Structure formats: C-alpha cells, structure tokens
Structure 1
Amino acid sequence: MRRRATAVTATAAAFSAVLAVAALAVPAAGAGQEDSGTEFWNIDVNHDRDYTVGVDATRKRLFSVSATVSDPSGVESVTYELWHGEERATADGVLVGPSRCLKLNEFTSYCEALVTADPNVNLRSNALAGVWTITPVATDGAGNVTRGNGSYLARIKRTTYMSQTVATPQPVTKGKNLTVKAQMTVASWEAHKNVPLIGHQVLLQYRKGTTGAFTTLKKIKTDRNGWATATVPATADGSYRYDFAGTSLTVATTGSADFVDVR
C-alpha cells in the first residue's frame, strides 16, 4: 500500500448538476505529488455556505462533510479528519467521520460523512471553538491511500441564545422613555450549561407597526450577567428586539420581539 498526498482541484463542470448542494472548495495549498492520481472536489460542511456548525452546551451535534473524489483506479473509501490547532501532529482536538460513497462513474464518487461533535466526548473545552482544518483521506481501488493537503476549513462554534425582549412600561405614553432589556447566554462546553455572554455588542432594533424591516437604534454591550439594557423614547406602536451578529467563536442569534402599544 502506498501513501501519498495530493492537492485538491476545482470542480469539473460535468458534475456540477449532480452536486448542486456542494459549495465550491477552497483552493488547495501547494502542489500534489506527481504520482498521486486522487483528486478531491467540492469540500462541503453542513451544507452551509460559511462552513459553520453550532454546538449546544450538552447535546451532541451531527453534521455532514462531503466531497467529490476521483482516482484512475476508482474510489474505495473516504474518511474526513477535522482537527483543531496549528498542526495535525499537535492538534488539541480531532473529529473523524467515515463516509458513504455514491459512485458517479468508474473513476469518481460523491462521498459524504456524518461527523459527531459532542461536548461530553470530543468538545470538552471552550477553547476548541473556532476554525478546524479538514483533511480528506481516500483509499483508491488499488489500495493506495491519499491525504488531501488543501486548506479546507470548518467553523465549529458555541451556540448563543437571546431571551424574550421585554420593553417597559406598557402601555406607554408617546414621548416617554421605554426601557428595553434582553439577556444573552452562550453554550459552555466546559460547564455543560448556558452561561451569560459578557461584554459583547448587540443591536437594539425597532420596527414600526407590525410589518416591514427592523432598523437599528442603538449598539449595546452586554453586562456581567449577559443583560443588554437600553432606554429609548416611545414614538409609535411597534416592536423592539435585540440582534447579535455572532463572532468567530459564537453563532449569531436574534431575540423575539416585544410589541409596544404607544398612546
């Protein structure tokens, strides 16, 4: 059995219709060895354009990783390795998913795996949130093993939650001040519960009436208990909510709106 590495190439037009759900792969880093005939196309994570996976505080999360794989000897099997850290050899987190392959023709297969991210097993540290590198590993029909050397990324993030927005007092007289509050929490893989999200910016948004788009009124930072609190003058009947854009480590979320009757 030979082991070899190869760069991943761009997708072939012939398979674009078959693989419409797959996102375009990130360009490969470096050139493959000349004796490597295996190629990987369309690395896709969770069928998400940003390759993002959100994981709760206690519940395991299954997500998909897929690619189109081609080799002159055909494709026997494919496994996806996801690792966190500067280098694979010193990674502080590893996720592995064996795939099932759908044969497209004699040389090419579409291979998809379900990978498990579990705060109780392989995501026990909050420090594991962020960018993970994906290394596809393929065995061809002749038994040769190829490790993809492209820079393919998955973003595994901690989920966030926004409580129901509460605006007081209600009803309110036009021109009087409203106090609008909501609490943000974030999944802690270490504590196995949701904890306050402290010192993060959220947007207070307002929509006049019952339809139409929300507009941003203020930018607020959450306090030591995760609360966002803002004071605004009541102008007309409408809804208030808080919106969090997310970070490289946390998933975006939007809270439920509170409708205010202005008299």
Structure 2
Amino acid sequence: MRIRTAVTAVCGTLALLGAVAPVAQADSHHGDTRFTSVTFSRSTVNVGVSKAQSVTVTATAKDDSGISGIYGGKLVSPDKRIAFPDDGSCSRPSSTTMKCTWKYVLDANDSDDYADLRNADAGTWHLDAEAAATDHDFYTLDSSKTVKVKRYAELSVTQAGPEPVGKGRTLTVTGALTRANWDTNVYAGYTAQRVALQFKKSGSSSYSTVKTVTTDSKGKLKTSVKAASSGTWRWMFAGTGTTMAVTAGGDSVALK
C-alpha cells in the first residue's frame, strides 16, 4: 500500500491519501446513463490492529448507447482519505452494460505506516465512481453508496461472584471493554461507554437487560445486583458509529 497524490494515483493500487478528496456531494448525472446495481460484499468492515480486512464492491452501469468505461472506483473515508482498489476487473454483460468489481484491503498495521488506517477513518465510507457512456452521458456516484468501516471491539469474559451465591444476596459482576486503536496498533480501554448487563435464567433461551453500566477511565465494568435465581450473566455493547458491537462470554451462577 503506497501513498500517492490525487494526481498521480493509479487505479489498481491501494492507497490512503490525506486531505485530498473533495467534500462528498450528491450524485450527479446527465442523460440516461445509470448504475443499475451497486453491492458491497459486507455492509460493515470491522478492523482490528493486526489483521487486514477486505471488502468487494460490484457495480453495473447501463446506457442505451453503451458504456465506454467506469472510472474512479475508490472508497472515501469520513476524514477524506482515499482507498484505491487492490484488485479490479470489468466485463460487458451486454452491449449496453458494463460490470466492474473492485477489492479493497483495509489494514491498521500496513508495512507502509503512511497507508495505515487511522482512528479518524472510522465511520461511513462512500464509493466514488463514474460511468461514462459512448454518447457522452454520465452518472457519478458521489455519496449515495456507503459501507461502514469500524474499529474492532472486545469484551472480556464476564465474571460474576461469589459462586454459588445465596438467594437475595449481592452478586458482583465485572468485565472490560476495549477497542482497536488504529493510531497505536494496540487495544485500549473504551471509556465512558454504556454497556448492558444481561441475565438469562436457567432453563430460558433468551437474555434480558438488567441494568446499564458505564465503563470507567480504563474501560472496566463493575456493578452489583441481587441474586434472585440461577442463570447466566453477560455484558453486551451495542456499538457506536465508529466501533463494532460485541457481546461477552457469559458466566453461569447457581443459587445455594
């Protein structure tokens, strides 16, 4: 993955560029050219600190005069950095259509430090591509087709005690929420986040939320509840616009 300027960037090379993309505008078009289909292989891409993740985009454009080419095919991050496709190919299913597929690899720990994902990149990315027709009509995708790129999150296995516990006695439940820091390539405590404490009674198939607890300055969770019945306790984080949702492994506690 290499850094290139907007002028010298070449399709087929994956790159992330700082502050070179224009502010996203509404889609624009002229004539009867249109994209009949744009699909992402994943609606959300969750990226950690060491393993690259990929997403494939397939776009089909049509014009009665035929499509001369589909250009651009790049993903633009919330902070206006650009990811060019690592691989791509186009075909002509008919005389009036063209279909292109691009693969993007997103990595927070690329060998080229300048091409790594940054924390500011997390959020909604949009596809930037233009279909040009042989009669000079066109359709430009500026902001309508999007994919979520989020920071990977982890919840430690729920710990509840003492075990077993007397009915009506106090049970202490702990855990910890961390997320990938793309700037430093480590997992760090996710502070000031509301996390649901859930309980599933023995014999039941579903969990219900008992209370919501906020993580401390290190991402740790701790609360007390009254033990009313035997069952399993777990933490559940709903996620944010920049960080994935995650559910912790549960801890079964029996009454004595």
Q: Which moves more between the two structures, 205-214 or 76-85?
A: 76-85
Matched, 1:108 2:101: no
Alpha carbons of 1:30 and 1:249: their partners in 2 closer, same or farther (altered >3 Å)? closer
What displacement does 1:73 show? 2.2
1:11-26 → structure 2 map (5 Å cutoff): none
C-alpha distance in 1 between matches for 2:175 and 2:116: 28
C-alpha distance in 2 between matches for 1:30 and 1:63: 22
Match of 1:39 in 2: 34
1:6-155 → structure 2 map (5 Å cutoff): 29=26, 31-34=28-31, 37-48=32-43, 52-71=44-63, 72-74=65-67, 76=69, 79-85=72-78, 91=80, 93-97=81-85, 98-121=87-110, 122-138=115-131, 147-155=140-148
Cα distance per residue 1:124-156 (max 9 Å; x no partner): 421111122211234667999864345322221
Cα distance per residue 1:8-64 (max 9 Å; x no partner): xxxxxxxxxxxxxxxxxxxx9355123xx532133222333xxx2111112211111
What displacement does 1:108 show? 2.1
Alpha carbons of 1:128 and 1:194: their partners in 2 closer, same or farther (altered >3 Å)? same
TM-score by length of 1: 0.77
Q: 2:174 aligns with which of 171, 181, 206?
A: 181
Cα distance per residue 1:71-108 (max 9 Å; x no partner): 3324655552111247xxxx3x1111253335432222
Match of 1:157 in 2: 150
1:238-249 → structure 2 map (5 Å cutoff): 238-249=231-242
Q: Do 2:27 and 2:139's aligned partners in 1 also have CA atoms closer than 8 Å?
A: no
C-alpha distance in 2 between matches for 1:169 and 1:134: 52
Local SS of the residue matching 1:204: strand
Which amino acid is the alignment partner of residue 253 of structure 1? V
Q: Which moves more between the two structures, 133-142 or 220-229?
A: 133-142
C-alpha distance in 1 between matches for 2:170 and 2:93: 64
Q: Which moves more between the two structures, 138-147 or 127-136?
A: 138-147
Could you tell me which runs of 5 or more consecutive residues in structure 2 were left unpaired when the two chains were aligned. Answer: 1-24
Q: Do 2:73 and 2:102's aligned partners in 1 also have CA atoms closer than 8 Å?
A: yes
Which amino acid is the alignment partner of residue 153 of structure 1? T
Match of 1:21 in 2: none
Q: Do 2:232 and 2:251's aligned partners in 1 also have CA atoms closer than 8 Å?
A: yes
What displacement does 1:194 show? 0.8
Which amino acid is the alignment partner of residue 68 of structure 1? T
Match of 1:201 in 2: 194
Q: Do 2:38 and 2:60's aligned partners in 1 also have CA atoms closer than 8 Å?
A: yes
Could you tell me which runs of 5 or more consecutive residues in structure 1 were left unpaired when the two chains were aligned. Answer: 1-27
Match of 1:250 in 2: 243
Q: Do 2:108 and 2:182's aligned partners in 1 also have CA atoms closer than 8 Å?
A: yes
What displacement does 1:210 show? 4.4
Q: Do 2:30 and 2:138's aligned partners in 1 also have CA atoms closer than 8 Å?
A: no
Q: Do 2:35 and 2:59's aligned partners in 1 also have CA atoms closer than 8 Å?
A: yes
Which amino acid is the alignment partner of residue 41 of structure 1? T
C-alpha distance in 2 between matches for 1:195 and 1:182: 14
